[in-house]
Amino acid sequence: MTDKANLKRRQFLLTAGVGGVSAAAAVVAVKSGGSDAAKTDTAAQADQGGYRLTEHVAAYYRTARV
């Protein structure tokens, strides 16, 4: 291919990528304007963070023993 064709393709792909990122940012901006109840629920889950030994984790440890 010629250099001009390569440059046109690269410019198109760059423009498409920037457009996709812009669209994703717009969707995130719209969805992040949710209710305060959802934000409070997320904050409550963050406070419960940390390591918890659940049955699922214990089963993994049993199967991963060497």
Q: Which residue segment(s) compose the domain that 24 sits in?
A: 3-63
Please give the residue that has the higher pLDDT: either 53 or 29. 53
Residue-wise pLDDT tens digits, 7-46: 888 888 888 888 888 888 888 888 876 555 555 555 666 6
Output the pLDDT for position 44: 61
Report how far residue 26's alpha carbon sits from residue 21's, in angstroms, rounded to the nearest whole number. 9
Q: In whole angstroms, what separates CA 42 from the centre of its chain?
A: 16
Report how far residue 34's alpha carbon sits from residue 16's, in angstroms, rounded to the nearest whole number. 29
Residue 59 pLDDT greater than 90, yes or no: yes
Output the pLDDT for position 6: 81
The total number of structural domains that make up the chain: 1
Residue 63 pLDDT greater than 80, yes or no: yes
Report how far residue 19's alpha carbon sits from residue 12's, in angstroms, rounded to the nearest whole number. 10
